[in-house]
């Protein structure tokens, strides 16, 4: 069996089969805590209250159910999408670990090698996260006491620095695209924050993500037209 | 009638229920990692590359995991440890969880800091029901999304890295953008979060460039963590000065 067929005929179908099975299993087991609480302790909230609360949540998150998986798919690929949307923490762990792992291994982003390395990187981050949270959940009271105030307040700035660092990693290779994408994103956010997108109602936030991601991809295809043109010739051959 | 709901929320049987759910997440990661290791051998990826990928991912995960831990503790105060532990190992993020639990409590006519067992129960149900959308959508459509990539690249191989670079730059510029606006919707480039973002970005650019051109192995693995923590420290020092 040659390399290409192992990846596309053994690896990917296996990932998809297990991906679907674990997502389904995840959906079922996720309901164990509320089921156990209601059934064992006898607190069944009225269905109408659950529905009211859920509908309120859907009005906030509804568009993101579709927009987030589609927007991050070009980065995460099939295995990464299954893992990310089962384990959460997309922007603060899964995406950074996917790109950091590919950078460290020196593989081409989004290639077959890149996808495999990215999957390993994301898997490792899921396990690290669970280990740390497990320790934390069991010892939450103790930990609160140990961490000095200065540390907890400094941690407020970890995510901003993380977002900047991930951006920087890609800006090094594609500085022109980085500048253009800042312009696109800030224009979209400025419009949204100053009320010019209010006509979109609850969809304004997800439209901004779509503009940010797909606008930058489109800008990339224009900026690197020459690079791409060479490729088209190769394909014609 | 005055039952302390937190005693029930932290009951061993709740720990057990949460642990079963979390074990599914671990199971998935272990299966995917094993399959990827097998595929790596077929694709000619060296053991050294895998080691570097694993190491850099561990290093990059620790900082954010500690942030999640600290925010989890704020969720534990209202929702108890087992549920918070499960939700943040699952599809969660603290903002979402606090909001969903809040909506659940609201539907029972109370708030998160004033829960009774019934409102707590409703909060947990809403947390789970509200996140179904992501899980069901990815369950049904992930294997069909390859078409999105084909549509974008129109089959051109060289377009693939441009797509991922464009998507990452767009997504992370967007995630950072909130740090550069003030409450009135104007630009604010000198706030502490903005400074942390800029420093993290510039340091990462310098370190990545250095690691690539001089081919420094350890820097490839550590660049991200160094940039992230330095940006954080500079941001918090800046914050205490202004």
pLDDT at B158 > cutoff 80: no
CB B234 within 8 A of CB B201: no
CA distance B135 to chain A (A): 6
> pLDDT by residue (tens digit) across B173-201?
998 998 898 888 888 889 999 999 999 99
A188, A218: one domain: yes
Rounded CA gap, A113 and A106, in Å?
10
A207 to chain B, any CB pair closer than 8 A? The answer is no
Residue span of the structural domain in which B207 resides: 146-241
Residue A155: inside a domain: yes
The ipTM is 0.84
Which tokens is A157 given? 């700035």
**Quick one: B131 and B34 in the same domain?**
yes
Place A191 in a pLDDT band, splitting at 50, 70 and 90. Answer: very high
Same domain for B102 and B24? yes
Question: Do residues A73 and A168 both lie within one domain?
Answer: yes
* Cα(A48)–Cα(B124) distance, integer angstroms: 15
Residues A134 and A225 in one domain: no
Q: Is residue A53 part of a domain?
A: no
Of residues A209 and A105, more confidently modeled: A105
Alpha carbon of B113: minimum distance to chain A alpha carbons (Å): 17
Which are the contacts of B3, defined by CB distance < 8 A and separation ≥ 6? B116, B117
Percentage of the residues of chain B whose pLDDT score is greater than 70? 98
Q: How many other β-carbons are positioned within 10 Å of the β-carbon of residue B7?
A: 11
Same domain assignment for residues A87 and A153: yes
The residue of chain A nearest to residue B196, with distances taken between CA atoms, is A161
Is residue A57 situated within a structural domain?
no
B211 and B178 in a common domain: yes
The total number of structural domains in chain B stands at: 2
Asked if residue A110 belongs to a domain, the reply is yes
Whether A99 and A72 share a structural domain? yes
pLDDT digits (tens, 9 = 90+) for A133-161: 999 888 876 776 677 878 878 888 988 99
Does B32 share its domain with B95? Answer: yes
Share of residues in chain B with pLDDT > 90 (%): 54
Query: In whole angstroms, what is the distance from residue A212 CA to residue A205 CA?
Result: 11
Please give the Cα distance from A95 to A103 (Å, whole number).
12
* Number of C-beta neighbours around residue A196 at 10 A: 13
Do B160 and B122 belong to one domain? no
Return the ∠ at Cα A153 (arms to B110 and A68), rounded to 5°.
65
Residues counted in chain B: 242
Range of the domain at A10: 1-44
What one-character-per-residue DSSP string does A189-215 give? HHHHHTTTTGGGGGGHHHHHHHHHHHH
SS3 of B187, please? strand
Structural domain contains residue A89: yes
Q: Which of A142, A173, A204 is the last residue of a domain?
A: A173
Looking at the fold, whether B107 and B152 belong to one and the same domain comes out as: no
Identity of the residue in A32, A86, A150 whose CB atom sits nearest the CB atom of B25: A86
Residue A49 lies in a domain: no
Residues A158 and A182 in one domain: no
Count of the separate structural domains present in chain A: 3
Residues B131 and B178 in one domain: no
What mean pLDDT value characterizes chain A? Answer: 88
- Let me know whether B171 and B97 are in one domain: no
Among B128, B144, B160, identify where a domain stops. Answer: B144
Model pLDDT for residues A197-236, shown as the tens digit of each residue: 888 876 777 788 889 989 999 999 899 887 777 655 444 3
Residues A77 and A169 reside in one and the same domain: yes
- Mean per-residue pLDDT, A59-75: 84
Segment B36-43 mean pLDDT: 94
Residue identified by tokens 């899964």 is A94
Same domain as A115, residue A68: yes
Q: B125 and B179 share a domain?
A: no
A18 or A66: which carries more pLDDT confidence? Answer: A18
> Has residue A174 got a pLDDT over 70?
yes
Residues B129 and B191 in one domain: no
Distance CA A95, CA A72 (A): 8
Do A152 and A187 have their domain in common?
A: no
Of A144, A173, A202, which residue sits at a domain end?
Answer: A173
Do A196 and A115 have their domain in common? no
* A62 interface with B at CB cutoff 8 Å: yes
Q: Which residues contact B204 (CB under 8 A, 6 or more apart)?
A: A164, A165, A166, A167, A168, A169, A172, B223, B224, B227
* Shared-domain flag, residues A68 and A147: yes
Q: Residue A26 above 60 pLDDT?
A: yes
Residue B217 and residue B132 share a domain: no
Are B113 and B186 within one domain? no
Single out the residue in B144, B168, B199 at which a domain terminates: B144
Q: Which two tokens stand for residue B167?
A: 């998507």
A74 and A166 housed in the same domain:
yes
pTM comes to 0.83
Distance in angstroms (rounded) separating the CA atoms of residues B158 and A224: 10
Q: What is the pLDDT of residues B52-89, one digit of tens each?
A: 999 999 999 998 888 888 778 778 878 889 999 999 98
| pLDDT for the residue A84 | 95
Domain stop point among B126, B144, B162: B144
User: What integer pLDDT is reported at residue A144 of this predicted model?
Assistant: 65
Of residues B162, B163, B200, B197, the one with CA closest to residue B179? B197
Q: What is the mean pLDDT of residues B22-50?
A: 95
| Closest-approach residue (CA) in chain A for B54 | A121
Contacts of B33 in chain A (CB under 8 A): 119-120, 123-124
Q: What is the DSSP letter of B35?
A: H
Q: Which is nearest to A73 in space by CA: B141, B58, B30, B234?
A: B141
User: How many angstroms separate the Cα of A116 from the Cα of each of A12, A99, A199, B161, B188?
Assistant: 10, 12, 42, 15, 40
Please tell me which residue of chain A has the smallest CA distance to B70: A152
Give the count of alpha carbons within 13 A of B69, CB side only. 27
User: Are residues A96 and B64 in contact, defined by beta-carbon separation less than 8 angstroms?
Assistant: yes
Quick one: what percent of chain A has pLDDT higher than 70?
93
Neighboring chain B residues of A217 at a CB cutoff of 8 Å: 152, 162-163, 166-167, 170
B-contacting residues of A 128-147, CB under 8 Å?
A: 128-130, 132-134, 136-138, 140, 143-144, 147
Yes or no: say if A149 and A142 are a contact pair by the CB < 8 Å rule: no
């Amino acid at each position: 069996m040659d390399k290409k067929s192992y990846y596309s005929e053994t690896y990917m179908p296996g990932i998809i089969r297990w991906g679907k099975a674990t997502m389904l299993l995840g959906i079922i087991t996720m309901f164990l805590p509320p089921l156990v609480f209601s059934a064992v302790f006898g607190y069944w909230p009225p269905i109408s209250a659950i529905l009211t609360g859920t509908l309120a949540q859907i009005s906030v998150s509804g568009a993101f159910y579709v927009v987030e998986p589609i927007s991050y798919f070009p980065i995460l690929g099939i295995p990464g999408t299954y893992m990310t949307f089962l384990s959460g923490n997309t922007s603060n762990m899964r995406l950074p670990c996917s790109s950091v792992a590919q950078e460290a291994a020196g593989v081409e982003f989004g290639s077959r090698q890149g996808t495999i390395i990215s999957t390993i990187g994301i898997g490792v981050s899921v396990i690290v996260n669970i280990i740390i949270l497990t320790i934390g959940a069991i010892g939450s009271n103790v930990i609160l006491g140990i961490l000095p105030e200065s540390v907890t307040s400094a941690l407020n700035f970890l995510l901003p620095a993380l977002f900047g660092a991930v951006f920087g990693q890609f800006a090094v290779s594609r500085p022109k695209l980085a500048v253009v994408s800042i312009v696109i994103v800030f224009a979209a956010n400025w419009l949204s924050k100053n009320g010019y997108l209010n006509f979109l109602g609850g969809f304004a936030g997800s439209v901004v993500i779509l503009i940010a991601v797909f606008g930058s991809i489109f800008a990339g295809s224009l900026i690197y037209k020459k690079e791409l043109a060479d490729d088209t010739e190769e394909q014609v051959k | 009638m005055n039952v302390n709901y937190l005693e029930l929320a932290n009951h061993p049987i709740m720990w057990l229920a949460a642990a079963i759910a979390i074990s599914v997440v671990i199971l998935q990661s272990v299966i995917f990692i094993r399959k990827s290791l097998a595929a790596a051998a077929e694709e000619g990826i060296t053991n050294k590359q895998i080691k570097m990928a694993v190491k850099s991912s561990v290093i990059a995960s620790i900082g954010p995991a500690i942030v999640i831990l600290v925010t989890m503790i704020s969720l534990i105060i209202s929702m108890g440890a087992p549920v918070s532990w499960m939700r943040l190992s699952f599809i969660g993020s603290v903002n979402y969880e606090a909001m969903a639990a809040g909506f659940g409590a609201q539907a029972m006519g109370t708030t998160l800091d004033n829960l009774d067992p019934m409102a707590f129960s409703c909060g947990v149900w809403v947390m789970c029901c509200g996140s179904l959308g992501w899980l069901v959508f990815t369950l049904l459509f992930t294997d069909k999304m390859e078409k999105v990539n084909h549509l974008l690249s129109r089959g051109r191989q060289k377009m693939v890295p441009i797509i991922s670079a464009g998507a990452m730059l767009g997504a992370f510029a967007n995630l950072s953008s909130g740090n550069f606006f003030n409450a009135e919707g104007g630009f604010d480039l000198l706030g502490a979060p903005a400074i942390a973002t800029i420093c993290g970005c510039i340091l990462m650019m310098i370190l990545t460039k250095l690691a690539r051109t001089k081919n420094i192995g350890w820097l490839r693995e550590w660049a991200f963590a160094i940039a992230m923590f330095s940006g954080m420290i500079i941001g918090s020092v800046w914050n205490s000065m202004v």
